[in-house]
Structure 1
Amino acid sequence: MRAILTSLILATPAFAWEATVGDICTLSHDTGAATIFLTYDPSAPLYTLTVTRKDQVWAQSPWFAMRFEGRNPIEIATPRHVLSDGGSALTVTDTGFGNVLDGLEYNQVAYAFTQDGVAEFPLIDAAPQVRIFRTCAGAHLS
C-alpha cells in the first residue's frame, strides 16, 4: 500500500512558482487549471501578464481585475487587456507592475477575473520567486 501511495505522490506534477532572470525576465505558475506568466523587458521597459485558462475561454469583457487576499490585500483593474489563443489567454501590458508584484509577494491567494470568469492562484512559496523576478536588471516598479 505504501508503495502505491508513494508512486501516486511522486507521479503528481509539482506546480511551483518559477522565476528566471535574463534579457527578458519571467515569473510563472501553473495550477493545472490555469497558468499565470509575467515578463519584464528591461530594454523597453515593459511588463506583461498573461493568464491562460486551460479548459475554458475568457469572454470579451470591458475590464480585467486581480484581487490579492492575505496580509496585504490589493485589488486592481484595467480596461487595457487583450484576448488571444482563441480566448484562452488574457494579456495586460504596462510599464509598471508594482501592485501586481506586491500582491503576489505579500499575500496567500490571487484571483484573476473578469465579469464572466476567474482563475485562482495559490501564492504558497511565491514570495522568493517574486523577489528573484524583482531583481531583473533595471526593473521599474511604478
Structure 2
Amino acid sequence: MRTLLLLALLTSPAHAWQADQEGRICRLDHAEPGLSVHLTYDPAGPLYSITVRAPDPWPEAPIFGLWFEGDRPANITTTRHQLGGGGYEITVTDSGFSNVLDGLEFNRTATAFAGHAAVLIQLQGAAAEVAAFRACTESPSA
C-alpha cells in the first residue's frame, strides 16, 4: 500500500512555486502541465512583470485579469497587457504589484482571463515563495 501511495505522489503533476534571484532580478516561477506563470522584479525600474503562458493562444482582448479565490478574494484587471510567444503568453508590467502578490499569497486559486479564454492556476505552496519574492524585492541588493 505504501508503495502505491508513493508511486501516486511521484507521478502526480507538480504544482511547484519557486522564488529565486538572478543577478539583481527577483523571480517567481510556477509550472503545471501546459501552464506557467513567471513574475519578475527589476529594481532598475523599479518594474514588476507577470507572464502567463497558456496551453492555447490567448485571444486579442481589451482586458486581461486575474480572479483570486480563497481567504482574500480579489479581481484585478488591466488594459495594459501584451501578447507574446506566438500568442501563448500574456504579459503585464507595472511599477507596483502588491495586489497581485497578495492574491497569490493569500488565496487557493487564481484564474487568468482575457476575452473568452481562462486558465486556472493552483496556488498551493505559493505563500512561502511569494514571501521570499517580496523579501528579494525589498533587499538592498535587489
Indicate the TM-score class for this superposition, using the shorter chain for normalisation: 0.7 to 0.9
**Maintained 8 Å contact 1:109/1:123:** yes
Aligned position for 2:30: 29
Q: Tell me what 1:45 maps to.
A: 46
Aligned residue type for 2:32 = T
1:29 is paired with a residue whose SS is strand
1:64 aligns with 2:64: yes
Measure, in 2, the Cα distance between the counterparts of 1:4 and 1:76: 42
Higher fraction of strand: 2
How many residues align? The count is 138
Q: What is the match of residue 10 of structure 1?
A: 10
**Among the aligned pairs, what percent are the same residue?**
44
| Structure 2 residue ranges without an equivalent (≥5) | none
Q: Distance in 1 between matches of 2:66 and 2:38?
A: 14
How many angstroms apart in 1 are the aligned matches of 2:91 and 2:137? 23
Counterpart contact for 1:42–1:136, Cα < 8 Å: no
TM-score by length of 2: 0.88
Cα deviation code 1:36-74 (max 9, x no counterpart) = 1100001210001000013x1001000101010111111
Structure 1, unaligned runs of 5 or more:
none
Which residue identity does 2:134 align to in structure 1? R
Letter in 1 for 2:111: Y
> What's the offset of the Cα at 1:125?
1.1
